[in-house]
Amino acid sequence: MISIELLLLVSAVMLFAGIYGFLTRKSTLAILLSIELMLNSADINFAVFNRMVYPNGHEGVFFAIFAIAIAAAESAIAIAIMINIYRQLKSISADKLTKMKW
Amino acid sequence: MSYTLFILLLPLISFLVIGVVDMDIPKTGKVWSHKAAGLIGTASLGIVTILSYYTAFEYFFCTPRLADGTLPTLVPFNATWLPLGNLHFDLGILLDPISVMMLIVISTVSLMVHIYSFGYMHGETGFQRYYAYLSLFTMSMLGLVLATNIFQMYLFWELVGVSSYLLIGFYYTTAPAIAASKKAFIVTRFADMFFLVGILIFGYYTQSFNFSFAGTVEYADGATHFIACNPETALIKNAAMTVLPISLVLMFIGGAGKSAMFPLHIWLPDAMEGPTPVSALIHAATMVVAGVFQIARMFPIWIDYAPQSLSIVVVVGAFTAFYAAAVACAQSDIKRVLAFSTISQIAFMMVALGVCLPGHGEHANHASLGYMASMFHLFTHAMFKACLFLGAGCLIHAVHSNEMSMMGGMRKYMPITHWTFLISCLAIAGIPFFSGFSSKDEIISACFQYSPICGWWMTGVAAMTAFYMFRLYYGIFWGTENKEHHEHHTPHEAPWTMTLPLVVLSVITVGVGIFTTLGGFLNWDWASFGSIVTATGTQYTIHFDAKIAATSTIIALISIGLATWIFKGEKQPIADKMYAAAPRLHRWAYKRFYMDEVYQFITHKIIFARISKPIAWFDRHVIDATFDLMAWCTHKTSNLIKGVQSGNVQKYALWFFGGIIVLFLIMYFTC
């Protein structure tokens, strides 16, 4: 039996990898991937807690499934936005997206 | 009697309809607005007049008197508009002898003016606007007299002020009209400030905004009952002795502003810039007597709790009466003469109210004779003064000038105007068998009852009244004809729409005069004004004091004779000699004793220069500067920190993440 700490460690690594990617990558596509990484780490947490703490229920698993569905929809929207940004700016680099400032 | 609600609603509806609906039909090219607006206004006023007369008939003749001989005070409609704890502002309709009498006065004069304006305002631009304002005014004035409480009265009081402002400034393209309307509005508003303070003091200490009534109040179904003002249950027990007189005097200042009492009279002569029918309706017959009506409304409180303060009313009234009469003797503009005559006559009414003394039981009506006399004079004055103003309108229509020098010898050209004008002049002069005699005689009797000085003073003013009115009459209808002016444009009688109101009003003047004069000498109780309006509400038959009646008649006749002697001829050697003998006096009177200049000096040289300017400096350099400093600080600070908002999403995320970590650390180490 793998201990709960090890499983949570995996999700924590994924979360921080996501945060790191979100803060450092310049391509918005890579930023989107990082967001997905963070979301998936949360999904892992749901599954882990369901399995380890409340083994008789299924709520955590269902939550994870919903979150995956929503993440899919969200990435579709995000990619659509990026295509639009690309048409406007001929680039999807986050450095160039500084129109929304003071 | 719930139909009385329509007396208020109909003019309001016609105001909205005439004011909002565009009545011109552009495609046909015909201008419909004239006929349509005039007809709608006049028709609704006609219905209002019929309703008012029916109300009066039902009230005075079909309502049984109560056991103590008073007419009941009816409240057919009263709704709480704004409750404020114990206090509440009501809107409703109140019928008692004076409000019903005022209904008759207002609706009659207003209907006459509506008809008259068809002729007088014919072809003017803004005809439709004019009728809309007339409806607004009529509605407000009716609301003022039908008010169930002092606050409702104040609401409508301001509304008549506004409609007066709008109508004085009707010719808003001419500078004098604009100046006059502003002056009227500012002066009356200034006075109304005192009125409002008086109302608030009154309401606060007596816990009620309602009038106190001599008779019994009867409510219709569904009407909100009101707590009549009761100083015994007042917030401060001795409010009756100290606060009530103060609030009543403050209210009187408001009334003095509206009724053009010295020194707040300065707006009324200038208000003559408005169309003449408006002067007849607002600045002679109805609105300017609002101050008198207000005192009459509060009269039970005055007489019970502030009888000493009434002497202020007497002094102000008596002085104003004399001052205005003196100025009227020297004016050359016919509307100005009539304006000062109006001021003088309203002052008569004020004095009559002021000379009332508190009396008890049987003697109350006798002691408060002035109340009845004042209301009676209000009624008769409204009729003959409206007639005089409308007559003046006919003259102005004929010669296109207000100046007496442009007239002269007009009796040949305008017979109807001449006769009706003469009748009204006789009435205002106080000749028996004309309505003014009966009412003025009662006022002078009341004054003599108060004090002989007051009586003789007012008799003297009455003599001056007769003199200046006949100076005006001879100056217009006799005297030197201005041939040069008449050659261009021969004066002609006005159209029937203008002469009909003159005839109606002078018929009322003569009719009322004959009945009340005979009634006063022969003790006919049915022909006595005292049978409908008295201080206590019980019937009181007027009986003329033969001595006073004879004295005032003889004095009036002497004054008329004097005026005839001086002003009737083609050449006026005596008048010229008088001017030569006292040029300065004449000049002073002509310039209205420089009251306007005094105001100009006080407002501009003292208030504006010494008070307003420093305040303006303080406002600009201290208050504005404080806010400017705050704005400057904010601006600079935001410039300093605006770099944070770089637009780079990843930086925001970093800040966010850093914040979360900091929060986490704080919670981790503290909890």
pLDDT in tens, B414-425: 888 889 999 999
Percent of chain B with pLDDT over 70: 93
Say yes or no to pLDDT of B523 above 80. no
Tokens representing residue B409 in the block = 């010898």
Percent of chain B with pLDDT over 90: 29
Q: Dump pLDDT digits (tens) for B129-152.
A: 888 899 999 999 999 999 988 889
Residues 6+ apart with CB under 8 A from B580: none
Q: Smallest CA–CA separation between B192 and chain A, in Å?
A: 52
Considering only CA atoms, give the Rg of chain B: 29
For residue B641, list chain A residues with Cβ-Cβ distance below 8 A.
none
pLDDT of residue B79: 85
Strand, helix or coil at A56?
coil
Q: Dump pLDDT digits (tens) for B469-493.
A: 998 888 888 877 776 666 666 777 7
Q: Greater confidence, B304 or B631? A: B631
| CA B332 – CA B276 distance, rounded (Å) | 16
CB neighbours (10 Å) of residue A91? 14
Q: Smallest CA–CA separation between A100 and chain B, in Å?
A: 5
Strand, helix or coil at B83?
strand
Axis crossing angle, helix B435-450 with helix B369-399, rounded to the nearest 10: 140
pLDDT of residue B209: 81
Diameter of chain A measured on Cα atoms = 54
CB neighbours (10 Å) of residue B609? 11
| CA B415 – CA B285 distance, rounded (Å) | 24
What is the pLDDT confidence band of residue B316, given thresholds at 50, 70 and 90?
very high
Q: What is the enclosing helix (H) or strand (E) of B242?
A: helix B239-258
pTM for the predicted model, two decimal places: 0.80
What is the pLDDT confidence band of residue B227, given thresholds at 50, 70 and 90?
low
Axis crossing angle, helix B239-258 with helix B150-168, rounded to the nearest 10: 20
Q: What is the enclosing helix (H) or strand (E) of B12?
A: helix B4-20
The amino acid that residue B177 corresponds to is: A
Question: Parallel, antiparallel, or unpaired: how do β-strands B73-84 and B217-219 relate?
Answer: parallel
Q: Dump pLDDT digits (tens) for B412-471.
A: 888 888 899 999 999 998 888 888 888 888 898 888 888 889 889 999 999 999 999 998
Residue B55's nearest CA partner among B91, B94, B81, B25 is B94
Q: Is B642 within 8 Å of chain A by CB?
A: yes
Q: Dump pLDDT digits (tens) for B32-91.
A: 656 778 888 899 999 999 999 999 998 888 888 777 777 888 888 888 888 877 777 888
| CA A31 – CA B650 distance, rounded (Å) | 9
Q: Smallest CA–CA separation between A72 and chain B, in Å?
A: 22
| CA B479 – CA B411 distance, rounded (Å) | 10
| CA B217 – CA B96 distance, rounded (Å) | 9
| CA B225 – CA B110 distance, rounded (Å) | 32
What is the arithmetic mean of pLDDT over B579-591?
Answer: 79
What is the pLDDT confidence band of residue B331, given thresholds at 50, 70 and 90?
confident
**Residue keyed to tokens 């991937």:** A33
Which member of B642, B648, B654 has the closest CB to residue A98?
B648
The amino acid that residue B122 corresponds to is: H
Which member of A19, A94, A100 has the closest CB to residue B657?
A19
pLDDT of residue B573: 76
pLDDT of residue B662: 95
DSSP state of B601: I
Please, are residues B207 and B87 in contact by the beta-carbon 8 Å criterion?
yes
Tokens representing residue B319 in the block = 């002085």
Q: Is A5 within 8 Å of chain B by CB?
A: no
Sheet holding B87-95, edge to edge: B87-95, B73-84, B217-219
- From residue A96, give the alpha-carbon distance in Å to each of A26, A77, A101, B553: 9, 20, 12, 103
What is the pLDDT confidence band of residue B195, given thresholds at 50, 70 and 90?
very high
pLDDT of residue B451: 87
Q: Is B650 within 8 Å of chain A by CB?
A: yes
| CA B352 – CA B248 distance, rounded (Å) | 17
Say yes or no to pLDDT of B30 above 60. no
What is the arithmetic mean of pLDDT over B194-199?
Answer: 92
What domains, with CATH codes, occur in chain A?
4-91 (1.10.287.3510)
- From residue B387, give the alpha-carbon distance in Å to each of B135, B390, B393, B422: 20, 5, 10, 10
Per-residue three-class SS string for B117-154: HHHHCCCCCCHHHHHHHHHHHHHHHHHHHHCCEHHHHH
Q: Rounded to an integer, what is the distance from CA B326 to the centroid of its chain?
A: 22
Residue B48's nearest CA partner among B19, B13, B90 is B13
pLDDT of residue B530: 77
Q: Under an 8 A CB cutoff, do B647 and A99 touch?
A: yes
**Residue keyed to tokens 């004309």:** B434
Tokens representing residue B95 in the block = 């019928």
For A35, name the nearest residue in chain B, comparing CA atoms only: B653
Positive or negative torsion for Cα B88, B92, B95, B98: positive
pLDDT of residue B239: 58
The amino acid that residue B60 corresponds to is: F
Q: Rounded to an integer, what is the distance from CA B478 to the centroid of its chain?
A: 32
Mean of the per-residue pLDDT values for chain B? 85
Please, are residues B444 and B522 in contact by the beta-carbon 8 Å criterion?
no
Residue B162's nearest CA partner among B258, B263, B276 is B258
pLDDT of residue A67: 92
Which member of B645, B647, B650 has the closest CB to residue A23?
B650
For residue B646, list chain A residues with Cβ-Cβ distance below 8 A.
98, 101
pLDDT of residue B344: 92
pLDDT of residue B487: 61
In chain A, which stretches have pLDDT less than 70? 100-102
pLDDT of residue B589: 76
Considering only CA atoms, give the Rg of chain A: 17
**Residue keyed to tokens 């502030």:** B306
Q: Under an 8 A CB cutoff, do A97 and B649 touch?
A: yes
What is the pLDDT confidence band of residue B108, given thresholds at 50, 70 and 90?
very high
Q: Under an 8 A CB cutoff, do B650 and A22 touch?
A: yes
Positive or negative torsion for Cα A89, A95, A97, A99: negative
User: What's the ipTM?
Assistant: 0.81
pLDDT of residue B163: 92
Least confident range of A82-91, B368-377, B490-499: B490-499
Q: Which of B641, B644, B649 to mutate to test the interface with A (most CBs of A within 10 A)?
A: B649
Please, are residues B513 and B434 in contact by the beta-carbon 8 Å criterion?
yes
Q: Is A17 within 8 Å of chain B by CB?
A: no
Q: Is B639 within 8 Å of chain A by CB?
A: no
DSSP state of A96: G
- From residue B365, give the alpha-carbon distance in Å to each of B314, B359, B361, B446, B534: 19, 8, 8, 11, 7
Cis (ω within 30 of 0) for the bond into B300? no
